[in-house]
Amino acid sequence: MSILSKSRMSGGAKQSLFAYLLIAPVVALLLGLVAYPFFYAIYISFTNAVVGNPGHWIGFGNFEYLSHNPAFLNSISNTIFLVIVSDGLKLAVGLGLALLVNQRFVGRGIVRSFLMLPWAMPAFVVFLTWRLLYQPIGGGINLVLTGTGIYPQIVDWLGQRSTAMPAVVVATVWRGFPFWFVSLLAALQSIPGELYEAARVDGANAWQRFWAVTFPGIRPVIIVTTLLSSIWTANSFENVWLLTQGGPSDATMVFPVLAYFGMQTQRLGEAAAVSVATLPILAILVIVATSLMHQDDE
């Protein structure tokens, strides 16, 4: 009996070992490509490393320097504003279009494909095109506004503090809404039609059907999409860089652009500190989203 049991244990241990061996390459890959760069970035944010010199430990020196940098302080509020406003708008546009395209009508497939185009285009093409549209002289938006008489004055969309960030938000929303749209459309299609029929029988109007049936059905997808989109928006570089380079007067300065400026000056420690400073914000976002998902699961 004991020999048999020992033999079984040995077989189980072998199986476990084999399983560990199978996942070892993936674990090594994750450690090498995710964990190592992540923790190395945190480490060098506490050093005065520059290109060609690993530097030495300086504690919170880089963070102290950043805390006195007006561009960094502006980048905090700008990044939060950009994430909240653009993701709010992406939700509104994406959900509205998903509800619309979820209805049956002729050419629905073509419309769905067409709405995915902004997401399919390379980001630099999108934002350079928006830059051309925003041009004060000869830009498409000003031509339409002045040509139709809606607004006779030329507007320097990217060159004024009052309009620069809204202009960046609009371009960011245009580029990002298809991800929301397709995610929410998939969620809408997974809601059983019987639930709507039951709600109708109970006398629910359209608004009540949305809140009682549609919204609970798509809520988990909204949470996950919000989480992913917020992280992408907070880390997005091309939109601000190609439109304004963070200007005018830091009106659109965000974390990734500031980190890029740090890299331009070869000061790796400082650049890493800018990126590391975003971690608490993103961590809060992830924790909130994860707890909401857990609530849904329960």
Partner 1 sequence: MAGAAALATGGLRSALAAPAVLKQGSKLTFWGGLIFSEGANKLLADAVNKWGADNGIQTEVVMINQNETVQKVSAAVQSNSMPDVLDLSLDLLLVLSQQGVFLPVDDLFDSVGKAQGGWFAAVDKASSPSLLGGSRTGIPFGVSGNLLLRRKDLLEPAGFKTAPTTWQELVAEAVAVNKPPLFGLGLALSNVGDGNLQVSVLQSFGGRIADDAGKKAAIKSDATKAYLQWLKDAWDKKIFPPGNTTWDGAGDNQAYLAGQAAFIANTGSVGIAAKSQDPELYDGTAYSSLPAGPKQKISPLQPQLRAIPKTSQNPDAAKALIEYLSQPDFISAYYETAIYGPVLQAQTQFKAFDGSNPIHAGLLDLVKNGTAPGYPDVYNTAYADTANNFIIPKMAQRVVIDNWDFDRAMDEAQTQAQSIYDKYK
Residue 217 in contact with partner 1, rule: CB under 8 A:
no
- Compute the least distance from the CB of residue 81 to partner 1, in Å: 17
- Compute the least distance from the CB of residue 260 to partner 1, in Å: 9
Residue 165 in contact with partner 1, rule: CB under 8 A:
no
Sole binder of partner 1 in the list 102, 146, 235, 245 (CB under 8 A): 245
Sole binder of partner 1 in the list 1, 4, 51, 201 (CB under 8 A): 51
Q: Say if residues 272 and 196 touch (Cβ distance below 8 Å).
A: no
Q: Say if residues 233 and 214 touch (Cβ distance below 8 Å).
A: no
Q: Is the dihedral of CA 172, 211, 286, 277 positive or negative?
A: positive
Residue 251 in contact with partner 1, rule: CB under 8 A:
yes
* Two structure tokens written together for 172: 């960011």
Long-range own/partner contacts, residues 153-156 (CB < 8 A, 24 or more apart): none
- Please give the full DSSP string across 108-174, using - where no structure is assigned: HHHHHHHHTHHHHS-HHHHHHHHHHHH-TTT-HHHHHHHHHTS--S---TTTSHHHHHHHHHHHHHH
3-state secondary structure at position 53: strand
- Compute the least distance from the CB of residue 44 to partner 1, in Å: 11
Stretch near partner 1 under the rule CB under 8 A, chosen from 23-31, 119-127, 215-223, 264-272 = 264-272
Q: Say if residues 226 and 289 touch (Cβ distance below 8 Å).
A: yes
Residue 242 in contact with partner 1, rule: CB under 8 A:
yes
Sole binder of partner 1 in the list 42, 154, 191, 286 (CB under 8 A): 154
Residue 238 in contact with partner 1, rule: CB under 8 A:
no
Residue 190 in contact with partner 1, rule: CB under 8 A:
no
Stretch near partner 1 under the rule CB under 8 A, chosen from 23-31, 201-209, 221-229, 248-256 = 248-256
Residue 50 in contact with partner 1, rule: CB under 8 A:
yes
Q: What separation, in Å, do the N-terminal and C-terminal C-alpha atoms of the chain show?
A: 44
* Two structure tokens written together for 134: 């925003």
Place of tokens 């380079």: 245
Sole binder of partner 1 in the list 112, 143, 145, 159 (CB under 8 A): 159
Stretch near partner 1 under the rule CB under 8 A, chosen from 81-89, 103-111, 154-162, 216-224 = 154-162
3-state secondary structure at position 51: coil
3-state secondary structure at position 56: coil
Q: Say if residues 95 and 184 touch (Cβ distance below 8 Å).
A: yes
Sole binder of partner 1 in the list 244, 273, 276, 289 (CB under 8 A): 244
Sole binder of partner 1 in the list 95, 164, 185, 276 (CB under 8 A): 164
Site string for partner 1, 113-152 (x = CB under 8 A): ----------------------xxxx--------------
Residue 77 in contact with partner 1, rule: CB under 8 A:
no
Alpha carbon distance 173, 199 (integer Å): 34
Q: Say if residues 293 and 223 touch (Cβ distance below 8 Å).
A: yes
Residues that bind partner 1 (CB under 8 A): 48, 50-53, 65, 68-71, 135-138, 154, 156, 158-161, 164, 242-251, 261, 263-268
